Structure 1
Amino acid sequence: MLSNLGYYNNGAQTVAVPCDVAEPLSHSVAKGFFDDNDGRWLRNNSATWKELLKHVIAVPKHSPAPEYRGAPRKVED
């Protein structure tokens, strides 16, 4: 991951955090949610994003502006 940090931590769509930060925030998904009926996901909410952004492994190229219900609206150009 570190060799391609621009992809995994660009700030626009992705932020890279240690697994030990993300794993406790994850939740099981309902059977059939993913193709292989296995996996976990992160809730797209303010609390999750605040925790993730406190632990990014490097400053991303773009300033993170996550989109979730209740998030500040982006100004369109």
Structure 2
Amino acid sequence: MLAYALSPFLAAWSMKHGPVLPGRWRWFSTLNADLDGYTPQRVAGFDPAAKGFKLWWQRTRWTWRNPYNGWHPKR
């Protein structure tokens, strides 16, 4: 639940600093991609040319896709 609440703020931070979350905040990202992971993975509904609000919304949704992924044990 915390990841869902923090995602909009993390996405807002990324709009100024880039799609890679710093330090321990990266725990809220997926392990295999930054917040723009939809681009190389070609996830339907994500626009690689998005800017502004649309980019913020995509990054928020990307974080929701796999919340707390950084805390999952390695298999």
Ranked by relative contact order (alpha carbons within 8 Å, sequence separation 6 or more), the top structure is: 2
Query: TM-score normalized by structure 2?
Result: 0.28
What is the TM-score with the length of structure 1 in the denominator? 0.28
Higher strand share: 1
Larger Rg computed on CA atoms: 1
